[in-house]
A and B are shown apart, each in its own frame.
Chain A
Amino acid sequence: MILVIGASSLSAHRRDELLQAARIGVAADRIELEMSLTPGIAVADEVIGAIDRDGNGVLSAEEQRDHAALVMAATELRIDGEVVNTGVGTATYPLLDELREGDRSIELRSTVTIPRLSAGRHEIAFTNGYRRDISVYLANALKPDSERILIASQHRDPAQHTLAIDFTIDGNRFASLPVWLFGSGAAAWLVFRRHTLPRIG
Chain B
Amino acid sequence: MDTRLGYAAITVAAVAALAVTLPAQRTAPASNQADTTTRIVKAAQDVVAAVDGPARAKLVFPFESPQKTNWSNLPSGIYKRNSLKIGDLTAPQRAAVMKLLSAALSADGYRKVVDIMHGDEVLKRGGGGRGPAFGEDEYYLAFLGTPSAATPWMLQFGGHHLAINLTLAGSQASMTPSLPAAQPAKFEWEGRTVRPLGSENDKAFALVNALDEKQKGQAILGSRVADLVLGPGQDGKTIQPEGIRASSLAPAQQAMLWDIVREWSGIMADSFAEPRLAEIKSHLNDTYFAWSGPTTNGSVIYYRIQGPTLVIEYAPQKSVDHIHTIYRDPTNDYGKKIAAR
Selecting from A12-20, A76-84, A112-120, the interface stretch reads A12-20
Check A12 against B238 for contact (C-beta < 8 Å): no
Cβ-neighbour of B226 out of A13, A138, A196 (below 8 A)? A138
Q: A67-86 interface mask toward B, CB cutoff 8 Å, 1 = contact, 0 = none?
A: 00000000000000000000
Q: Does B225 count as interface, using CB distance less than 8 angstroms?
A: yes
Q: A12-B324, A188-B13 are in contact. Are A195 and B5 (CB under 8 A)?
A: yes
Cβ-neighbour of A19 out of B10, B75, B227, B232 (below 8 A)? B227
Closest chain B residue, CB of each to CB of A105:
B233
Selecting from A43-51, A55-63, A155-163, the interface stretch reads A155-163
5 closest A-B pairs (Cβ-Cβ)?
A9-B233, A192-B6, A195-B2, A188-B13, A156-B223
Which residues of A have CB within 8 Å of B232?
9-12
Q: Does A200 count as interface, using CB distance less than 8 angstroms?
A: no
Number of chain B interface residues as a range: 35 or more
Cα A14 to Cα B226 in complex, Å, equals 11
Interchain Cβ contacts under 8 Å between A and B, 12 examples: A9-B232, A11-B227, A11-B232, A12-B74, A36-B233, A103-B79, A140-B229, A141-B239, A142-B239, A156-B223, A160-B223, A185-B17
Cα A10 to Cα B227 in complex, Å, equals 13
Given contacts A10-B232, A103-B78, A158-B223, 16 further A-B contacts (CB under 8 A): A9-B234, A12-B317, A12-B324, A13-B73, A36-B233, A103-B74, A103-B79, A138-B225, A138-B229, A142-B238, A143-B241, A160-B226, A185-B17, A191-B9, A194-B6, A195-B3
Which residues of B have CB within 8 Å of A187?
9, 13
Cα A191 to Cα B223 in complex, Å, equals 56
Q: A12-B324, A185-B13 are in contact. Are A23 and B237 (CB under 8 A)?
A: yes
Q: Does A174 count as interface, using CB distance less than 8 angstroms?
A: no
Within residues 203 to 229 of chain B, which ones have a CB less than 8 A from any CB in chain A? 221-229
Q: A95-117 interface mask toward B, CB cutoff 8 Å, 1 = contact, 0 = none?
A: 00000010101000000000000
Q: Does B31 count as interface, using CB distance less than 8 angstroms?
A: no
Q: How far is the CB of B24 from chain A (nearest CB, A)?
A: 16
Q: Does A151 count as interface, using CB distance less than 8 angstroms?
A: yes
Check A195 against B6 for contact (C-beta < 8 Å): yes
Q: How far is the CB of B311 from chain A (nearest CB, A)?
A: 11
Cα A36 to Cα B80 in complex, Å, equals 21
Q: Does B231 count as interface, using CB distance less than 8 angstroms?
A: yes
Closest chain B residue, CB of each to CB of A19:
B227
Cβ-neighbour of A188 out of B12, B229, B238, B317 (below 8 A)? B12
Q: Does A136 count as interface, using CB distance less than 8 angstroms?
A: yes
Which residues of B have CB within 8 Å of A192?
6-7, 9-10
Cα A136 to Cα B226 in complex, Å, equals 7
Q: How far is the CB of B67 from chain A (nearest CB, A)?
A: 14
Cα A44 to Cα B308 in complex, Å, equals 37
Check A140 against B73 for contact (C-beta < 8 Å): no
Cα A106 to Cα B239 in complex, Å, equals 20
Q: Does B65 count as interface, using CB distance less than 8 angstroms?
A: no
Closest chain B residue, CB of each to CB of A167:
B240
Q: A12-B324, A142-B239 are in contact. Are A181 and B225 (CB under 8 A)?
A: no
Q: A187-B13, A191-B9 are in contact. Are A12 and B239 (CB under 8 A)?
A: no
Q: Does A21 count as interface, using CB distance less than 8 angstroms?
A: yes
